[in-house]
Structure 1
């Protein structure tokens, strides 16, 4: 029963993340392409999940030192959502780059531009 109670507390965060994802996807799809929208969505959610995890990790440490077990339980639940979201976005990024290799960052060739009087 405790697991269901914890999951019910994080539902608003998951709904908010889903709504933000839907808005980002629709706007970028309208302006560019579905592939570009997926790329932007993955980048944004990697950053957002990392920030969420870091923020709630700090809040968990504070709650631990403040001896507030209810707050610690809540912050650890939210941090777990952030970490699971981060893992999911990394898996989605791997799959996206496998299916769209043109979006992979390519290395630039190194060139040397010699200046006068050595330029020939």
Structure 2
């Protein structure tokens, strides 16, 4: 178990460094609340893409008969799915404490164009 976890440490460190850089840049340009919102959105997207990639790689390794690659891709898939679950939970908590960041519906408007309407 510890050997499997040690293989995903570089992925976790890379994600942590990317999160730190994104947070610092957006905090400098906007505000800490906006930085948290952007960080959650970016990591939700990134974990979703990585999960899809590692799932495809796991299926390919399974049908190719490569148990070592399958074990590695499944470990990475587990980490990205855990990251996806954590970012969704963080999004829930962020919106609970910052309700002004919820996406609100825009009011609809009707534009009349000449000669069909006034």
Normalized against structure 1, the TM-score is what?
0.93
Aligned pair partner of 2:74 in 67, 73, 76: 76
Q: Please list every run of at least 4 consecutive aligned residues from structure 1 whose deviation after the TM superposition is greater than 2 angstroms.
A: 113-118
CA distance in 1, matches of 2:86, 2:62: 28
CA distance in 1, matches of 2:68, 2:112: 65
CA distance in 2, matches of 1:54, 1:8: 22
In structure 2, the partner of 1:96 is: 94
Q: Is 1:107 paired with 2:105?
A: yes
Q: What RMSD, in angstroms, separates the aligned Cα atoms of the two structures?
A: 1.0
Provide the aligned length of Structure 1 versus Structure 2.
117
In structure 1, the partner of 2:41 is: 43
Deviation at 1:112, TM superposition (A): 1.8
Normalized against structure 2, the TM-score is what?
0.94
Aligned pair partner of 1:17 in 7, 15, 18: 15
Deviation at 1:34, TM superposition (A): 0.2
In structure 2, the partner of 1:30 is: 28
Q: Is 1:54 paired with 2:38?
A: no
